[in-house]
Each structure stands twice: as C-alpha cells, then as structure tokens.
Amino acid sequence: MVGRVQQDIRNGEVSSCGVVLAVTESVQGVPSGKLLMFNGSFSLGEGAGLVKGRASEIDVKSLLSGRASLEALKPLETTNVWMKAPGAPATTPIKGQSIRKSDDPGYLIYLTDLTSVIELTKAVRSNQQIQIGMRIKSRDFDQALFGTVQMTEAQTQQFDQCINEWVNRMTTKYGLGESADRRDFSSSAK
C-alpha cells in the first residue's frame, strides 16, 4: 500500500491533511489475469473527515512488466468504500449525509466522523495495518485490501508536519487546550 501526503492550505494555514492511497491485491502466485486495485484518500478537515475512493482492475502482466500506466486501469463501478484502523469502526457517512459520486469520474466521496479518520492517521503514523473495503456494483459483498502504508522518509516528515499544523490550528481556532484527545493524537508521531 503506497501513500503520499494530501494537504490543503487556506489563508496560509493547513485546513486539511490526509493520505492518498494506492493498493493492489498481492501478485504472488498470480501469473496472469486481473487484480483488484483501490485508489483513494482520507483526510482530516474542519469538523469532519473525508473519504474518497474507487475500485479498478489491472492486468497482472501489465503490472509486473513495470510499464503499467493509467490506461492499464479499468475502473469498476463502485457502490461503497470504507477504511478502517485497528480497533476502530470503519468509516461511514456522517448522519444526514450519504455516499455520492465525486467530480472525479468513477470515485465515490463522503464526509465521515473525525474520530475514525484520526484513528486511521494514528495507524499510518505508527505503521499499523489498515483495511480498505469496496463494493463493486452487482456484487453482494465488500472486498477488503489491507496493509501498512508505505511513504518515503520525506513524505513521512511532511505528513507529521501537516498533522501537527492541523492540530495546532484546530486547537487555536476552537480553544481545545491540552485535552486528553489532543495529547493522544499528537503523541502518535514517530
């Protein structure tokens, strides 16, 4: 599972911070055929988290050749996506919201509670496995992929800085002080 930092700056300050993810089923022992792939992201925003994602298929030979491209991906109509950190509930739309189609073709997007996204963030920062689930149209089950998110050292440092700036901004804006939640969240840095 490969990750890179996703960050939004508004008025010179970090307004959201998260991770863009790409994960493929294991190719071990699979000489040909199609593999399921997930592309998406999660992020911490102001008052809510955001989850976005889609499922695709990719040809094993194309993937193993090292020449795989976006043209090699076949988007699959996806009806649900979720992410889950160890010991935490999976992401779901917040009350009154629903999963909807994103402006990006094939992607779904929804607002979720901050707690589940904070737990995902803590799992990524402490190298714990996370789960990503998706449901393909016409299937009556979710398929889940899992793993630890791999980022370069520079990406990890950028993520830590982004999270710290986001926490400081939320603390200042909403007067959180040194609450137990803030200490728990901040202490997850490597």
pLDDT tens profile 119-151: 999 999 999 999 999 999 999 999 999 999 999
Please state, in angstroms and as integers, the Cα–Cα distance from residue 53 to each residue in 2, 20, 33, 105, 129, following that order.
14, 9, 23, 10, 18
Quick check: is 129 in a domain? yes
Q: Which residues pair with 59 in a beta bridge?
A: 34
Quick check: is 187 in a domain? no
The pLDDT assigned to 25 comes to 81
What pTM value is reported for the model?
0.86
Q: What is the CA radius of gyration of the chain?
A: 17
The pLDDT assigned to 29 comes to 64
Quick check: is 41 in a domain? yes
Which residues constitute the domain of residue 85? 2-177
Within the chain, which residues score under 50 in pLDDT? 179-183, 186-190
The pLDDT assigned to 33 comes to 76
- Cα–Cα distance measured from residue 56 to residue 12, given in angstroms and rounded to the nearest whole number: 36
Q: How many domains does the chain have?
A: 1
The pLDDT assigned to 43 comes to 97
